[in-house]
Amino acid sequence: MFDDFTVENGATSIGLTKELAIKWAEKRPNESDVTRYKRVNTIIIFSIYLNQLGYESYIPRQLKSYKTTFTPFIFSKEELESFFHASETIEIKGNTTIRHILPVVFRMIYGCGLRVRDALNLKCKSLNLDEGYITIREKNGCDRVLLLSDSLKTVCIQYSENCLSKQNPSDYFFPYLFPEVKLP
């Protein structure tokens, strides 16, 4: 992203000019303060690095610390019960496994704190339903082990027995509706 920005703005040498740094630090439409702060901070670190290598590079001033505008929504017990009931009773037309996947994937996201991407990228071999845990493979080589509650373990076992009888360990635990689409 930054390399495209420098080319688009006519940079032809190694190093950051004051003008380029100021333009890079401008707030973008719909950009949160957190994103802008991190984006500018990365360039500050990069500019310091270039100076250490002997390239003249302007070091922008650090932006004022940001205040997050994120406000989490806390569901009540009734709202959660209603949400999970809706995921179990949703009417879906056609011959698809999505009606079996939704209740399990939503419970797994809620019960284990998984990101949607992590839940949908789970492989059958990532779950140990006998002992009740999931192993999440991280890009950095470290693994996270997440315990399943007894109720989530039961739901996963029922789903596995009913929908995954012919799956290989390397197959996805939640097969995609469109298998050719890969999540990032």
pLDDT, tens digit, 9 for 90 and up, residues 42-101: 888 988 998 898 888 888 888 777 677 778 889 999 999 999 999 989 888 877 778 888
Range of the structural domain that residue 26 is part of: 2-52
pLDDT for 153 equals: 94
Q: Is 0.85 topped by the overall pTM?
A: no
Two structure tokens written together for 14: 């190694």
Q: pLDDT tens, 3-42?
A: 787 888 887 788 888 888 888 888 888 888 788 888 888 8
The answer to whether residue 174 is domain-embedded is no
- Domain match, 95 and 132 both: yes
151: domain CATH number? 1.10.443.10
- Domain match, 99 and 46 both: no
Tally of structural domains, the chain: 2
The answer to whether residue 70 is domain-embedded is no
Distance CA(170)–CA(163), nearest Å, equals 15
Phi, psi of 9 (to 5 degrees): -100, 15
